[in-house]
Amino acid sequence: MLDIIIESNIHKVLVVIIFSWLLYFILRKFIKISMKINVGKKSDKDSNYKKRETISKLISNILKYLIIVIALLTILQIYGVKTTSLVAGLGVIGAVVGLAFQDVLKDLLAGIFIILDNLYLVGDTVEISGFKGEVIELGLKTTKIKSFTGEIKMLSNRNITEVINYSLEKSYSIVDVSISYNQDINKVEEVLLSLNEKIVDNKDIVGKIELLGVQELSSSSIIYRFGVSTKPNMSVSVNRYLLKLVKEMFDENNIEIPYQKVVVINE
């Protein structure tokens, strides 16, 4: 008799499992569509892509666990378990667990607010408590940051109060070049402006070079400054790239970069 009851209920359990899986699949698709997240490749022009993707994953995970709990309660009800008293008991246990794990709950809430307030997302370069690096994991409890030398720091979300985010806005690369006093400033400016033709293929550079003028008249050279906007956190690499171009262009146009010379006199 017991075998017959179990066998007849197996079909109901299968229906619950299949329905729960389909419900999760449909809701996840709906969340992606409502968040306007392209399932394919990420668009470079979409500045809010990472935020929407993170929120989408967060909501999907919450729904997944909620559907699992409801499905388990439904299956227990199929086999005659009184889920009403079970839910009430779970509520009391949940209250006790909540008091015992206050710090964990603080981390969870802090993680949600970090995402919603757009403090930082995975892939951003940030500085937290003096540690600078790339956010490699943003969870509801902890944040993991990897420095450029490979160290990984794990921070509890509740302890993150001040954040410097280098990835929210465009950066600016400033380049200082030294030229001899006998050089023609107008020719130098003309050569520097011609760099715009060279940088069009560099995807990290945004806009055109701006001539900022003479920065300093030092004892042995004129320090000339120019700059250009870059993608977030790309100013250092762009700076190196521009210095290389400047050296090549100066060589082509016979513009002298001052350097120390040693004169040997043979008597």
69 in helix, strand or coil? helix
Q: Which domain holds residue 125?
A: 115-165
Cα–chain center distance at 261: 47
- How many domains does the chain contain in total? 3
Same domain, 176 and 124: no
Query: pTM for this structure?
Result: 0.54
Examine the pLDDT at 8 and tell me if it is beyond 70.
Answer: no
Q: Are residues 36 and 83 in the same domain?
A: yes
Rounded percentage of the chain residues whose pLDDT exceeds 90: 20
Which CATH number do you get for residue 133? 2.30.30.60
Q: Positive or negative CA dihedral for 173, 176, 177, 182?
A: positive
Residue 62 domain-assigned? yes
**Three-state SS at 179:** strand
The tens digit of pLDDT for each residue in 199-255 reads 888 889 988 999 998 999 988 889 999 999 998 888 888 999 999 999 999 999 988
Q: Are residues 95 and 15 in the same domain?
A: yes
Q: What is the pLDDT of residues 92-142, one digit of tens each?
A: 555 555 555 567 777 777 877 787 777 888 888 899 988 999 888 887 778
Measured distance CA(161)–CA(163) in Å, rounded? 7
**Per-residue confidence (pLDDT) for residue 41, from 0 to 100:** 47
One domain, residues 140 and 221 = no
Which of helix, strand or coil describes residue 78? helix
Cα–Cα distance, 232 to 216 (Å, whole number) = 28
* 53 in the same domain as 135: no
How far CA 263 is from CA of 182, 252, 260, 266, in Å, comes to: 20, 26, 10, 10
pLDDT(70) > 80: yes
Do 18 and 94 fall into the same domain?
yes
Asked if residue 96 is part of any domain, the answer here is yes
What is residue 230's predicted lDDT score, i.e. its pLDDT?
A: 92
52 shares its domain with 12 = yes
**Partner residues linked to 144 by β-bridges:** 137, 154
Quick one: angle between helices 185-193 and 235-252, nearest 10?
Answer: 120
- The answer to whether position 259 is within a domain reads no
